[in-house]
């Protein structure tokens, strides 16, 4: 089977800008290890200095360069370029891991599966700035095109099925994202009152809300440490976060780490007592899967598909992202109860092993490809 994974692929393979890059990278690695499978990657990247071909440990990757700065979202241009490339590559099947890639696969006339990592019509409701509104207007335009043309969709969460079942006649296949196997072997070297946030820095992730939660916790736990690991997507928002920490005297309690390597995140999860993610909107955040695999309880919002990942009261706690008091209470309870953290961490790792391993996800994904090629 000749497969092209058309996806966001990390230009630096020791650093992942977000969960979509990470999931695509490890899916490619898992497919690469299967007999009878020829897998290639096609990706648009603002980090590539020019269009280029590369081989990563035997995996062929083609990058199409995209300007870092642009006045107008160039989704249409990207789709046209991707369509041309896919026609040249002539795979048996395309797995598009974002809407522009799925649109290109369909336009190229190649059997296409769309893996939905984001419910764009929900994310669009969060953004208020004119350029963001324009970007999501285009996303939703291409999203409608893709949903009308597809026969098979891989949903990374049942939440995706709920949101799209009335928008398409395609068949849904719910398959979790796969993660790096190393997360299942993270030792528990937790340090007292140490918390971790993993994710990009912008409003949708509600980092300012997390800082307010931290401010309240520090009143009773002055030695509390919050580690914020993630790439900055919105510089103005990041400045607001740093200013908040300074205004409230949190400099010694909060570390803004920026984008990190996988090795760093493995160490951070080992030393943290839990993962925090109070997002306003999510689909299936990979950092939660990684934390569960590492045996760490998660305290997160009920946004989107998070409740499919975190079982409230069993592998962590989930609350409305606006419930700051609730977050403070649940986090404080976990920090003060070693037995509860251990019980939740054990349950988290057991569930993660069943759901997020590379082999399990690749096996399910290949079954979908076979259905598509069989014309079912």
Digit-coded pLDDT (tens) for 299-308: 999 999 999 9
- At 137, is the pLDDT very low, low, confident or very high (cuts 50, 70, 90)? confident
**pLDDT-derived band of residue 5, with 50, 70 and 90 as boundaries?**
very high
**pLDDT grade for 72, boundaries at 50, 70 and 90:** low
Kindly report the CA angle at 268 between 354 and 44, in degrees rounded to 5?
Answer: 75
Give pLDDT, residue 305: 95
> What per-residue confidence (pLDDT) applies to 70?
60
pTM to 2 decimal places: 0.90
User: What SS3 state is found at 356?
Assistant: coil
pLDDT band at 73 (very low <50, low <70, confident <90, very high): low
The mean pLDDT value of the chain amounts to 94
What pLDDT sits at residue 130?
84
pLDDT at 69: 65
Q: How far apart are CA 52 and CA 43, in angstroms?
A: 10
pLDDT value of position 157: 95
Q: With 90 as the cut, is the pLDDT of residue 179 above it?
A: yes
- Report yes or no: 269 and 191 within 8 Å, Cβ to Cβ: no
Task: State the average pLDDT over residues 143-150.
Answer: 95
Does the structure show a pLDDT above 80 at 156? yes
pLDDT, mean of residues 217-237: 96
Out of 3.40.140.10, 3.40.50.300, 3.40.50.2000, 3.90.1150.10, the CATH code matching 2-176+357-373 is 3.40.50.2000
Domain 2-176+357-373 identical in fold to domain 181-355: yes
pLDDT above 80 for 174: yes
pLDDT band at 136 (very low <50, low <70, confident <90, very high): confident
pLDDT surpassing 60 at residue 71: no
Q: How far apart are CA 91 and CA 59, in angstroms?
A: 15
Among 135, 60, 53, which residue's Cα sits nearest to residue 100? Answer: 135
Select from 355, 243, 367, 345 the least CA-distant residue to 294: 345
The pair of three-digit structure tokens given for residue 111, joined into one six-digit string: 């059997």
Query: What does the block give as tokens for 209?
Result: 């809300």
Is the model's pLDDT at 41 over the cut of 90? yes
Both tokens of 203, joined, read 């409003």
One of 3.40.50.2000, 3.40.640.10, 3.40.50.150, 3.50.50.60 is the CATH number of 181-355, namely 3.40.50.2000
Instruction: Report domain extents, the chain.
Output: 2-176+357-373, 181-355
Would you say how long the chain is, in residues?
376
Span 117-125, average pLDDT:
88
Rounded to 10 deg, the angle between the 324-335 and 338-355 helix axes is 100
């Amino acid at each position: 089977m000749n497969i092209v994974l058309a996806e966001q692929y990390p230009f630096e393979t020791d650093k992942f800008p977000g969960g979509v890059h990470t999931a695509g990278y490890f899916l490619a690695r898992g497919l690469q290890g299967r007999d009878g499978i020829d897998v290639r990657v096609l990706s648009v990247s603002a980090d590539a200095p020019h269009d280029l071909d590369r081989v990563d440990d035997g995996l062929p990757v083609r990058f199409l360069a995209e300007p870092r700065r642009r006045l107008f979202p160039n989704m249409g241009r990207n789709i046209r370029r991707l369509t041309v490339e896919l026609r040249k590559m002539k795979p048996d099947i395309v797995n598009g891991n974002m809407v522009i890639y799925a649109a290109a696969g369909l336009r190229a006339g190649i059997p296409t599966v769309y893996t939905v990592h984001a419910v764009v019509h929900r994310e669009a409701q969060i953004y208020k700035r004119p350029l963001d509104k324009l970007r999501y207007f285009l996303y939703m335009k291409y999203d409608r095109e893709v949903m009308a043309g597809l026969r098979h969709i891989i949903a990374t969460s049942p939440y995706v099925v709920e949101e799209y079942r009335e928008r398409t006649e395609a068949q849904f296949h719910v398959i979790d994202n796969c993660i790096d196997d190393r997360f299942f072997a993270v030792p528990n070297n937790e340090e007292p009152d140490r918390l971790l946030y993993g994710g990009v820095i912008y409003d949708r992730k509600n980092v300012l809300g997390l800082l307010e939660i931290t401010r309240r916790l520090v009143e009773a736990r002055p030695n509390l440490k919050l580690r914020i690991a993630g790439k900055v997507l919105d510089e103005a928002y990041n400045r607001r976060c740093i200013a908040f920490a300074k205004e409230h005297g949190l400099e010694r309690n909060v570390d803004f780490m920026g984008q990190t390597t996988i090795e760093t995140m493995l160490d951070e999860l080992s030393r943290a007592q839990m993962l925090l993610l109070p997002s306003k909107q999510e689909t299936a955040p990979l950092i939660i899967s990684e934390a569960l695999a590492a045996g760490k309880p998660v305290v997160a919002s009920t946004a989107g598909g998070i409740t499919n990942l975190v079982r409230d009261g069993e592998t962590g706690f989930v609350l409305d992202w606006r419930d700051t008091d609730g977050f403070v209470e649940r986090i404080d309870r976990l920090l003060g109860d070693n037995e509860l953290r251990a019980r939740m961490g054990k349950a988290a790792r057991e569930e993660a092993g069943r759901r997020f391993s590379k082999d399990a996800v690749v096996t399910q994904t290949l079954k979908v490809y076979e259905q598509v090629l069989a014309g079912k």
